């Protein structure tokens, strides 16, 4: 026989993005997804059409970061819900409400279905926990299907029956497990137990572990042992909504960062493979034309790879910032709660801020530290390839030019260009040398004028200087010309096999 509880409640806190990463509104088909999903849940459970969109005004107080979206003319902040479910051939009255709201860049929904504590001014009876199964047909309380969903927190509350001891933690833990088994379908894997604590003086049990992040669900089972616990929970609904919202944003950002981590790790492996392929080109030999073309192709593909890799790192940094901002907002709301309830133990709520948020940020920081090495490695590889291609291409061009000048000429003779260069060198040197000695023109003076040849027994000093200059120039020119001929002849003999 299943255990019984008094006045069980199911609370769903769900959030979806109102704006995308660029600050633009979401697509029209996603804009009303949360309200339509709420209608589907009510229809499956109570077989009624809530039509929440008739209650919602999405343009209400656009400058207010946190506002109820119920239309002003409704003169209420929530849409009331009333219906019945069948349990053990009995009709059980179910009440509740839907509270649509806008929170910063997102939409939120607080959906509550519960068994009333009184009917006709009379206390209602304890009910079998199988009632929870009637409140979640086809697992409709677990939201899936929208890429915009940030996350959800599911809270099951109930009053302990007179038969249960609020001090028996082991028995209460077993009761919490039984509640989840009743709430979820038989083939559904219940999220693993995380921890237990006391919140507002009543025992609370948390389910869901972050080491199972892919299928993570955040679920709380809370047993009220005195009226003050439920009253405080309802009194601080604004703070709780903010807490669950910031929590959802942190968890979603970390989940997305794990996917980016996988993508970045794959890109890093590709970069390492590309670097390894460079080893085949060696460092001690001149690259062939085919190898130069291969490296030139890499200079086109590696920068694109580097850009994709840098974008992935940028996404990781973005998620790191998102976690840091919302973790700080979460801690601020905790401070507000602590300030209002100084004597209350809220350690269960603080664990997420002190332990989980810190772990998420440390993990991404470590990822970035490791992956930044890949960017440095890629930059160095690109610079190395550019330098290698430039140097080896220059060497290849120079060798090709030398081959063109020398390899096509007949053996034993130099190219026409070289003959022209030597001729210019020889003539220039001869003229230069003659010019140097011809500067002796200053030897002609009034005391020793220049006379016709053979008119004196001894030639004039100018005549001697001019003759020596010409002779010296001719000798120098012949030496340069002859020396080049000898050198070319020696080089041609060296080339012969």
What is the full per-residue pLDDT of the chain (497 aa) written as tens digits?
Answer: 678 999 999 999 999 988 765 555 666 667 889 999 999 999 999 999 999 999 999 999 988 989 999 999 988 889 999 999 999 889 999 999 999 999 988 999 999 999 999 998 899 999 999 999 999 999 999 987 666 789 999 999 999 877 777 788 899 999 999 999 999 998 899 999 999 999 988 999 999 999 888 889 999 999 998 888 888 888 888 889 999 999 999 999 999 999 999 999 998 888 777 777 666 565 656 656 666 666 666 666 677 777 888 899 999 999 999 999 999 999 999 998 888 887 888 889 999 999 999 999 999 999 999 888 776 666 666 666 666 566 566 666 666 666 665 555 554 444 555 565 655 565 556 556 555 555 554 555 545 565 666 566 666 666 666 676 667 767 766 777 777 777 677 666 665 55
CB 206 within 8 A of CB 356: no
Q: What are the CA-CA distances from residue 339 to residues 335, 353, 414, 449 (Å)?
A: 6, 17, 99, 123
Cα–Cα distance between 316 and 407 in angstroms, integer?
60
CA 431 → CA 223, 335, 483, distances in Å? 116, 99, 18
Element (H, E) at 465: helix 461-495
Please give the pLDDT value at position 433.
Answer: 55
Cβ atoms within 10 Å, residue 104? 15
Which pLDDT value is given to residue 192?
A: 94
Q: How far is CA 246 from the centre of its chain?
A: 20
Residues 6 or more apart from 200 whose CB is under 8 A from it?
A: 228, 229, 232, 233, 341, 344
Q: What is the dihedral of CA 81, 83, 85, 89, to 10 degrees?
A: 160
332's tokens = 């601020």
CA 283 to CA 262: how far, in whole Å?
34
Q: Which residue, 356, 366, 488, is CA-closest to 422?
A: 488
DSSP structural state of residue 251: H
Which residue, chain included where needed, has tokens 């137990």?
193
Q: Which residues pair with 381 in a beta bridge?
A: none
Question: Cα separation of 386 and 59, whole Å?
Answer: 57
SS (H, E, C) 311-329: HHHHHHHHHHHHHHHHHHH
How far apart (Å, rounded) are the C-alpha atoms in residues 173 and 179?
10
419 in the Ramachandran plot: left (φ > 0), alpha (ψ -120 to 50) or beta? alpha
Two structure tokens written together for 104: 């910063």
Q: Is 451 helix (H, G, I), strand (E, B) or coil?
A: coil
Measured between alpha carbons, how far apart are the two ends of the chain, in Å?
107
What's the pLDDT score for residue 414?
Answer: 46
- Which single residue is written with the structure tokens 């970045």? 264
Amino acid 412: pLDDT: 47
Other beta carbons within 10 Å of 455:
7
């Amino acid at each position: 026989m299943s255990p019984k509880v008094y006045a069980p409640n199911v609370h769903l806190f769900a959030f979806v993005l109102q704006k995308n990463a660029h600050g633009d509104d979401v697509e029209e088909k996603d804009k009303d997804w949360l309200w339509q999903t709420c209608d589907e849940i009510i229809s499956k459970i109570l077989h009624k059409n809530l039509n929440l969109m008739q209650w919602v005004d999405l343009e209400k107080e656009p400058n207010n970061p946190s506002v109820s979206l119920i239309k002003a003319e409704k003169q209420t902040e929530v849409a009331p819900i009333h219906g019945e479910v069948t349990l053990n051939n009995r009709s059980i009255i179910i009440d509740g409400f839907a509270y649509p709201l806008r929170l910063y860049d997102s939409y939120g929904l607080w959906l509550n279905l519960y068994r009333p504590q009184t009917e006709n001014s009379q206390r209602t009876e304890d009910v079998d926990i199988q009632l929870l199964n009637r409140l979640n047909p086809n697992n409709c309380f677990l939201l899936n299907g929208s890429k915009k969903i940030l996350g959800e927190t599911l809270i099951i509350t109930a009053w302990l029956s007179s038969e249960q001891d609020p001090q028996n933690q082991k028995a209460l833990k077993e009761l919490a497990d039984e509640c989840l088994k009743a709430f979820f379908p038989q083939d559904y894997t219940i999220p693993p137990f995380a921890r237990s604590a006391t919140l507002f003086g009543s025992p609370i049990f948390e389910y869901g572990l972050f080491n199972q992040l892919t299928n993570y669900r955040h679920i709380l089972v809370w047993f009220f042992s005195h009226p003050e616990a439920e009253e405080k929970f309802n009194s601080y609904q604004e703070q709780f909504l903010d807490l669950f919202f910031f929590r959802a944003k942190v968890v979603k950002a970390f989940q997305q960062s794990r996917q980016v981590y996988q993508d970045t790790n794959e890109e890093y492996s590709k970069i390492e493979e590309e670097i390894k392929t460079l080893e085949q080109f060696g460092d001690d030999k001149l690259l062939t034309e085919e190898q130069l073309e291969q490296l030139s192709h890499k200079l086109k593909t590696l920068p694109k790879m580097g850009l994709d890799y840098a974008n992935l790192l940028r996404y990781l940094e973005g998620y790191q910032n998102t976690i840091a901002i919302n973790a700080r907002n979460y801690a601020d709301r905790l401070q507000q709660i602590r300030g209002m309830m100084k004597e209350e133990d809220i350690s269960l709520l603080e664990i997420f801020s002190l332990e989980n948020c810190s772990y998420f940020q440390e993990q991404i920081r470590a990822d970035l530290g490791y992956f930044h090495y890949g960017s440095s490695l890629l930059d160095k590889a690109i610079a190395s390839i550019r330098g290698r291609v430039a140097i080896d291409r220059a060497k290849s061009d120079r060798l090709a030019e030398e081959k063109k000048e020398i390899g096509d000429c007949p053996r034993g003779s130099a190219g026409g260009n070289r003959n022209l260069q030597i001729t210019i060198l020889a003539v220039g040197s001869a003229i230069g040398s003659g010019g140097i000695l011809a500067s002796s023109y200053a030897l002609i003076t009034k005391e020793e004028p220049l006379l016709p040849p053979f008119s004196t027994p001894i030639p004039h000093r100018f005549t001697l200087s001019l003759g020596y200059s010409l002779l010296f120039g001719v000798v120098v020119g012949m030496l340069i010309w002859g020396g080049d001929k000898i050198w070319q002849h020696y080089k041609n003999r060296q080339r012969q096999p």
